[in-house]
Amino acid sequence: MNATYGELLAAAADAVQNANRAVKLRRFDTQLDAAQALVDYQGLLDALAGHTWVLLTPEQAAGVRASQGPRPVEVAAIAMAETIGKVTGSGRPNPALHTEPVTSWARAARCLRAAGDLLATHHTPRHGPRSPDADILDDPDVRAGALSRLGHLTITLLDAEDNLALRTLQTGLHPATVRRALPGLTHIADIARTTTSHDTTEPAAPGEPARSTSDTAAGLARLDNLGLVTPPTRTDHPVTELADRYARVRLHAWQLLENPDYSITTLRDLAVLGVATHAHTAALHGADLTDRGAPNRQLKPLLDRARAWQELHHTLTALITASPRDVLVREDLIAITRTLQTLAPITTTAPSSVRTAGLDRPLAGALNGAVATMTDIARWSSLTLDRLARSGHVHIPGRALTGEQVTDRPDLTTARLTGHLAPAPDETRRNVTATYQALRTHPFQPSPPAVAPDAGIDHATDVNVITRAAQSGAR
Amino acid sequence: MATWDETAKVLVEHADADWEGIWTLTYAAGRATADLGVVAPMADAVELTYAAMDLCEAREELEWVRPDLPARCPAVTVGPPDPVDVDSARDAIGRLITAALARAEALLGCDLDLADLACLTRTTTQLRSARRAVDGAAGRATTSRGRS
């Protein structure tokens, strides 16, 4: 199972609700159950404090403490974690971790700790980035939103303190034992309420503009969609496999920045993926791709993107580097294109109105996310190619140079005559960079210009789906 | 599309049954496929892009075992594409690929070391994949011969 951060947090919240309800409605069967519940309750408190330190690193906490104008939600979150720490103690591992989770509180703690581990996979031991999403918690609004959510969870948990004390005492546990475990945690709940009472969209610093609610929501959605940095590819369903493979390609494209494979072939493969992604997405939404002259006006941006990726592939075809391709990118490319040919065929005899009538929403969602992914890949590929070219790794066969290209360039003229490799002409590099720049933005901006719908076919719903993906699917 | 037909015919007739011949035919087919993809309707263009990718890989396979091929062989292209007659252009590309395959198969009958044998195997696989893609693109677009 490939759980995301949001799913783990939601599972933790559900488990807390279940445990709270259970302890409110019925007694414990045995003293052992009561003792286990006390241990697990403390374990969850410890996990909540620990997760605060995942969202807010010790270095960031030190910055908050030293700041003249810290964000109140971060100050409150630090106070909450420190106060919980005084209650649960500093012994590691926490006693609750010695046993398999039995109660729902223990399951909630496990989900919370797993969520922290999931975030940790996006960083190196020195907190360097291991994925393009490693910077998600650097956004103060996202961090504040996540801390605020943690505060809500803490309040919910602490609501059960009185009920738990009652139920444990009913089993005959020694009052001193119960008092030691539940000494009265209202003060922690008060601090937790402070974390939730601040507006997370307020300016990060005096004088800065306030962020819009939708920006913050988009940032939190990106955090919630975060999975493991190297998840296994699920092959049980073609749509989930498609999403997993796109995620893996995205990661590899990003990794080329730090660890270039010096291969233009990999960049060409990514360009082919760009062509396939946009063309098949347009086909899924009902575009007629068999007629060059009459594309649907609302889906035209997708087809324009497909053409731009194709032009890019065409230009990159003429370039040569010394290294072989990235085999994983190629493997994913082949698998993705095969899946797309099956799920979103470009050529079909059905009229577009029929095709859009039964639109596969999960597939549409996956492909719209893929369109957003391609904008990231364009940005990183541009930087990768620029780096390759600057380090002198990109060449062109001398015999492929045109007369225009070799004019006023004695070195290129010599290469053309001898057939040796020559550095890629500046003009070619500029063209490629310009195309990549155009591909960096989503084809459907959040506020697209108004266009008249085609007569007889209503694609507005589909375009809205794509537009929403531009806002929330961009990761 | 006379230019493409004629150039392809000359290349097919005169390319030798050796590494150089395969490289020249593959190079010409790859460039032609990429050029045609840019002007063809998107339904064909996607398949042609896949074919161009395969042809590019086939050429690179040859260059791994014969790095001097790009410098020694004539890098011939078949000229600018004509969007009006996509089917004819596709036929020309198909002939180039078929000719490259025929030469690769002829070369497989020669005395080869293991590296050359592996290279030819991979190249042949990519060429066949490209031919399938080019053939598969045939007849899908409405801007075929006789239209517009």
Non-local CB neighbours of A69 within 8 Å, separated by 6+ positions? A205, A206
Domains in chain B, CATH or no CATH each? 2-137 (1.20.1260)
Strand, coil or helix: A388: helix
End-to-end CA distance of chain A: 21
Each residue's pLDDT tens digit, B98-122: 999 999 999 988 888 888 999 999 9
Give me the mean pLDDT over the A238-254 stretch. 93
Complex-level ipTM: 0.85
Amino acid at A440: R
Q: What is the pLDDT of residue A465?
A: 39
> Inter-chain contact B142–A313, Cβ cutoff 8 Å?
no
Task: Grade residue A452 by pLDDT with cuts at 50, 70 and 90.
Answer: very low
Residues of A in contact with B75 (CB under 8 A): 397, 399-400
Each residue's pLDDT tens digit, A339-390: 999 999 887 555 555 555 567 888 999 999 999 999 999 999 999 998 888 8
The pair of three-digit structure tokens given for residue A312, joined into one six-digit string: 């890019």
CA distance A292 to chain B (A): 5
Please tell me whether the overall predicted TM-score, pTM, comes out greater than 0.90 for this model. Answer: no
Helix (H) or strand (E) holding A421: strand A421-423
A12: pLDDT strictly greater than 60: yes
Q: What is the pLDDT of residue A348?
A: 57
Domain boundaries, chain A: 5-224, 238-473
Q: What is the pLDDT of residue A212?
A: 66
> Inter-chain contact A265–B56, Cβ cutoff 8 Å?
yes
DSSP string, A209-232: PPPPHHHHHHHHHHHHT---SSPP
As a whole number of angstroms, the distance between CA A281 and CA A368 comes to 7
Residues of B in contact with A269 (CB under 8 A): 53
Residues of A in contact with B83 (CB under 8 A): 292
As a whole number of angstroms, the distance between CA B145 and CA A39 comes to 79
Q: What is the pLDDT of residue B137?
A: 57
As a whole number of angstroms, the distance between CA A218 and CA A200 comes to 13
Cβ proximity of A77 and A56 under 8 Å: yes
A325-352: b (≥16 Cβ within 10 Å) or e: bbeebbebbbbbbebbbebbebbeeeeb
> Inter-chain contact A265–B70, Cβ cutoff 8 Å?
no
Q: What is the pLDDT of residue A453?
A: 39
As a whole number of angstroms, the distance between CA A161 and CA A185 comes to 8
Give me the mean pLDDT over the A152-178 stretch. 93
Helix (H) or strand (E) holding A396: strand A395-397
The verdict on B95 touching A (C-beta cutoff 8 Å) is: no
Choose between B142 and B119: higher pLDDT: B119
